[in-house]
Every structure is written in C-alpha cells, then in structure tokens.
Amino acid sequence: MLERYFLKPQTIDGIRSSWLADPIEKYVAWLTEKGYAARNVVARVPILRRFARFSWSQGARSFDDLPDLVEPFVADWVASRDNGRSPERTHRFRNEIRGPVEQMLSLVVPQFVARGRTTRALVVPFATQAPGFFSYLREERGLRETTIKTYQHWLRPFEGYLREVGVETLSELSPAIVSAFITSSIDGLNRNTITGFCCCQRVFLRYLHREAIIDRDLAAVVEPPQTRRLSNVPRSITWDEVKRMLEAVDRRAAVGKRDYAILLLLVTYGLRAREVAALTLDDIDWERERLLVPERKAGHCTAYPLSAVVGEALLEYLKNARPETTERSVFFRMHAPQTPLTYTAVGSRASHYLHKANIQVRRAGSHTLRHTCVQRLIEAEFPLDTIGQYVGHRSPQSTEIYSKVAVETLREVALGDGEALI
C-alpha cells in the first residue's frame, strides 16, 4: 500500500524500519478505504513517523503506552515551530498534528478515545429519580432519538437548578420552585424556543405525576407563550426562484450532481431533510418507477411516482458521482471520510444554494423547499387532506396553515394599488 503513495524506495524503507511500521501501514490502508486524497495520505505519514521517534525517545515500548504521549508530542512540535503564530493558527496547527496520531491510535489501541474526534458522553438527566422517562418517550410516545435528545437538553438545566437550590428529591417540587426555574431560564430565548422548552418541562412533570413521583400535577404551572393559531406564513419561495436556485448548481462537478438530485427531491416531493438523508438504493424502484419514503414522521410510508426529472438526476448522480461503496445509502459526502450524508448536511446544502441564488427568505434551508412544494399544491387546488398525505403531515392542522392566505395576492397588494385587486 505504501508503494501507491511513495516513489522513493528509501522513503518506504524508512517507514518500515520504524517501530510503529505496522500501525502506520494499517492507517494508510484505512485512509485509502475511506477515500482520502493521495495528498492527504502523503502529508500525514511524516507526522506519524515523527510521533514514532518521539514516543520511542520517551520510553514507549508498546502501543498501550502511546495515548499518554499524544499531548506531549503535540506540545513539543508546536514549541519547536513557535514563530509568532496567532492563537487561531496555533490551535489549527495543533489539530493538524493531533488528528492523524489519534486516528492511527484508534485503529490499534482498543477503547482509545480520541480527544478531537469524540465527545464525552452526556449525562442523562434524572436517570436515578425518574429512570423510566426516556423509555416512556421512546416506547409509549414513539419519539425519535433526535427529539429525545432535545428533551435531555432542556431537562439538564432543570436538574442543575434543583441541585443549586438544594432540592434533593423530585418529591420536594412545588409550584414556586418550578415557576422560579422557568422564569430564570427563558430570558433571551425567542418565542419558538420558549414554546419547545415549556413543552418538554410539561411532559416531564405530567410523567412524574402519573408515576406518583410527585403528588400533584405541576404541568399547569408551566405556561408557554400564547400564540394565535395559523399566525405565521410559511417561508416558501416562488417557482421562478426555485428555477434560479437549480440553475445555481454546477452539475458538471460530482458534488453538483448530488446536490441537484437532493434539491429536486426536496422541492418535488416536499421531503424532510431527514427523509432524504435516510434514502437507500432499495427505496428506488426503477422497474415500477416509484420512490419509497419509509418511516415518515406521521408513522407511515409513502410511495411516490418517480418523475422523469428526478429519476434522471438520481441516475446521473448514481452513475457518475456517487462514491464506490458497499453501503446502501443513496447520498454520501464527496470528501473523505465518504460517509452517508446527514440530515443537517442536506439542510446545509439547500441553504447554500438559496443564498448562492441570492434568494431572500427567512431561515433558508430544506424546509423552505418543503413549504414551496406544499404551497404549489395549494395553489393547484388539491384538497388539504390529499396534500397532507402527500408530504407526510402528522396532523391536518399542519397543512391548514398554507391555505389561510393568497401569498401572491398579498405581494401584489404590497407592491401596487390594493383597491384594484378588490
């Protein structure tokens, strides 16, 4: 494998004479498997050779000795190159050195935790006093892990607050304590964030009462902001703006082929970013010309007719841009490591092209295109129930908001003589 990247025999001999020769070669093979560019492999191997010399000089004689020497090695190299770098450049330089070493160690040292690649496990709030709460969310309410993480995010401050004020058990909760926590927590948050925060607290408090952990239901103490139903206009864009966005994609490049297919899926079928990221090759039925979207938020699957435009875009990407891999996911990162695209990346790509096309819209992202799909169906006078099923709305109220205004008419009123339209 080394011969693939290094031409000089003396360079290869130097690598293989190192006491970490086997881990280095294993790491090079791993980089190749993950699709890293040759220039990245060539740049990382010298760092590992230097780490091998440094660790040996520090008395390391087994792989298990290496994790404790990573930070001293980084500090030693940074000190030897201290030429007045800014703090930002020094931080970046440290990561450039630490990254390859930690990646190699993760391949050869069992249970090694890379400082720069993993995050510490977050403590589950109220795991001792209300151990069944998150199982309740998963099994009884059917919430997804991303939603459960939101609950954990908002309950950690509650647990910390109770610890600060000396409340040792949940049975000591009172309306005054809950109210004081809510008041101290919502300062600076916007209306939507406060609503989500209050929802999490109310669900938790109801659960505590149901399980007899507290003797009264304190959910009523938590009052979310008052909002008027159908008060917001969905952030859709016009079809001309959709065309401008699609024209901004450079479809000659591999990343452009991928992103073009993603954008068409979002705006044609109104898919969520998570649904696009979860698509697999098995979900595309070329013989019957159907696209299957399983496990939707509403709890069902949807089979769409595969439109010619979307099918051509998918085929172009799959044939000429998708990385070679045995995994079944449709969309992948273009750069190493070539892992399946996440739902956050899907939203980011939609936002990128909306901004690139200079389309002004509040909170630009994948949901902008979903809203556009629904609004176009509304304007085509499809029944709300049909539209809700098409885009996978869990509740009819989710679709109803799109029908409350004639968006184009309001635009004309704003730009011209409103009386002419009456």
Last residue of a domain, one of 108, 123, 158: 108
Distance from C-alpha of 256 to C-alpha of 262, rounded to nearest angstrom: 10
Maximum CA extent, the chain:
87
Clarify whether residues 274 and 380 are in a common domain: yes
The token pair at 197 is 């925060």
Whether residue 15 lies inside any domain: the answer is yes
Mean pLDDT over residues 295-320, rounded? 87
* CATH code assigned at 334: 1.10.443.10
Query: Does residue 21 sit in the same domain as residue 154?
Result: no
Please count the other Cβ atoms lying within 10 Å of the Cβ belonging to residue 190.
9
3-state secondary structure of 33: helix
Do 300 and 362 lie in one domain? The reply is yes
Within a domain: 380: yes
139 and 262 co-located in one domain: no
Q: Among 194, 221, 248, which residue terminates a domain?
A: 221
| Domain identity same for 207 and 274 | no
Query: How confident is the model over 108-137, as a mean pLDDT?
Result: 78
Per the structure, the count of domains in the chain is 3
Tell me, yes or no, whether 117 lies in a domain.
no
Over pLDDT 90: what percentage of the chain? 60
Q: In terms of domains, do 376 and 254 share one?
A: yes
User: For residue 173, what is the domain's CATH number?
Assistant: 1.10.150.130
Judged by DSSP in three states, 284 sits in: strand
Residue 334 has, within 13 A of its CA and on its CB side, a CA count of 14
Q: Is 118 within a domain?
A: no
Does the structure show a pLDDT above 80 at 85?
no
Which residue range(s) make up the domain with 353?
Answer: 239-415
* pLDDT confidence of residue 18: 94
* One domain for residues 81 and 12: yes
Q: What percent of the chain has pLDDT above 70?
A: 87
What band does 1 get if pLDDT is binned at 50, 70 and 90?
confident
Residue 246 is predicted with a pLDDT of 96
Both 277 and 141 in one domain: the answer is no
Residues 402 and 272 in one domain: yes
Q: How confident is the model at residue 405 (pLDDT cuts 50, 70, 90)?
A: very low
Nearest Cα residue to 98 out of 48, 39, 61, 64: 48
| pLDDT tens digits, 180-215 | 999 998 887 888 788 889 999 999 999 999 999 999
Residue 300 has pLDDT above 90, yes or no: no
Is residue 28, in this structure, part of any structural domain at all? yes
Look at residue 45 and tell me whether its pLDDT is greater than 70. Answer: yes
pLDDT above 80 (res 148): yes
Same domain, 74 and 153: no
Q: What is the mean pLDDT of residues 118-131?
A: 75
User: Does residue 255 carry a pLDDT above 80?
Assistant: yes
Both tokens of 399, joined, read 């679709």
Residue 231 lies in a domain: no
314 and 176 in a single domain? The answer is no
Confidence band, pLDDT 50/70/90 cuts, at residue 170: very high
pLDDT score of 321 more than 60: yes
What confidence category does residue 294 fall into, taking pLDDT thresholds of 50, 70 and 90? confident
**The predicted structure's pLDDT at residue 299:** 62
Q: Is the pLDDT of residue 335 over 90?
A: no
Whole-number average pLDDT of the chain:
86
Residues 104 and 157 in one domain: no
Active site residues per annotation: 272, 297, 367, 370, 393, 402
Place of tokens 């069944």: 132
* Domain end call among 154, 187, 221: 221
**Using CA atoms, how far apart are residues 73 and 383, in angstroms rounded to an integer?**
66
User: Does residue 60 lie within any of the structural domains?
Assistant: yes
Residue 123, burial from CB neighbour count under 10 angstroms (0-12, 13-18, 19+): exposed
- pLDDT at position 247 over 80: yes
Asked whether residue 124 is domain-assigned, the answer is no
